[in-house]
């Protein structure tokens, strides 16, 4: 039998056991899946009809597997959602939320204040679950877990 979509020969074989028809495709791992499908309908169709149905099922299984693999490649984990803020925006948020905070130095360059930081939530970050921050320009330089002091204690 020829697979017209792939222009190759399809090697289906049939075995009958206690009324169940087992179908095997020698070129893939579809035999078991197709067999489960056909066990329910073995007494309803003749061998030629079963071959057509099984061939169609094999094509459909291949198509669905390809779609699944494509979707896996495009999947973005929920843990990567975040926000990008400049240092100036972070300072504004800090001053708003802690107005009594006294920042010792007010000498910051425009370049420093324009630096963008990403803040993301990760379920399995290097220091456990939580919010992490990294430089947008150079994410490969690493990240810090927010809410921990330099000693590693939660703060």
Judgement on whether residues 95 and 127 belong to the same structural domain of the protein: yes
Inside any domain, residue 151: no
Which domain-ending residue is among 74, 91, 113? Answer: 74
The whole-angstrom separation of Cα 46 and Cα 42 is 8
Judgement on whether residues 66 and 95 belong to the same structural domain of the protein: no
| Residues 47 and 14: beta-carbon distance below 8 Å | yes
Both structure tokens of 71:
């979707």
Which domain-ending residue is among 56, 74, 92? Answer: 74
**Which pLDDT score, from 0 to 100, does residue 105 have?**
64
Which domain-ending residue is among 36, 59, 74? Answer: 74
Summarize pLDDT for 97-141 with one digit per residue, the tens. Answer: 677 776 666 677 777 778 888 888 888 888 888 888 888 888 888
**Which residue range is the domain that position 15 belongs to?**
2-74
Summarize pLDDT for 134-150 with one digit per residue, the tens. Answer: 888 888 888 888 877 55
- What value does the CA radius of gyration of the chain take, rounded to a whole number of Å? 30
The whole-angstrom separation of Cα 33 and Cα 60 is 11
- Indicate if the pLDDT at residue 1 is higher than 50: no
Judgement on whether residues 90 and 70 belong to the same structural domain of the protein: no
Report how many domains make up the chain: 2
**Which pLDDT score, from 0 to 100, does residue 18 have?**
55
The whole-angstrom separation of Cα 133 and Cα 78 is 16
Q: Phi and psi (nearest 5°) for 96?
A: -70, -45
Inside any domain, residue 128: yes
pTM assigned to the model: 0.41
């Amino acid at each position: 039998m020829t697979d017209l979509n792939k222009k190759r020969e399809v090697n289906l074989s049939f075995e009958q056991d206690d009324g169940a028809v087992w179908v095997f495709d020698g070129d893939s791992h579809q035999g078991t899946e197709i067999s489960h499908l056909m066990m329910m309908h073995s007494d309803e169709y003749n061998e030629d009809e079963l071959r057509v149905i099984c061939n169609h099922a094999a094509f459909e299984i291949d198509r669905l597997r390809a779609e699944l693999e494509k979707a896996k490649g495009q999947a973005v984990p929920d843990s990567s959602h975040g926000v990008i803020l400049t240092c100036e925006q972070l300072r504004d948020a800090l001053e708003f939320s802690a107005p009594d905070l006294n920042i010792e130095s007010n000498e910051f360059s425009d370049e420093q204040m324009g630096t963008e930081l990403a803040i993301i939530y990760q379920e399995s970050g290097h220091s456990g679950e939580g919010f992490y921050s990294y430089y947008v320009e150079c994410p490969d330089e690493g990240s810090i877990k927010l809410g921990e002091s330099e000693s590693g204690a939660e703060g």
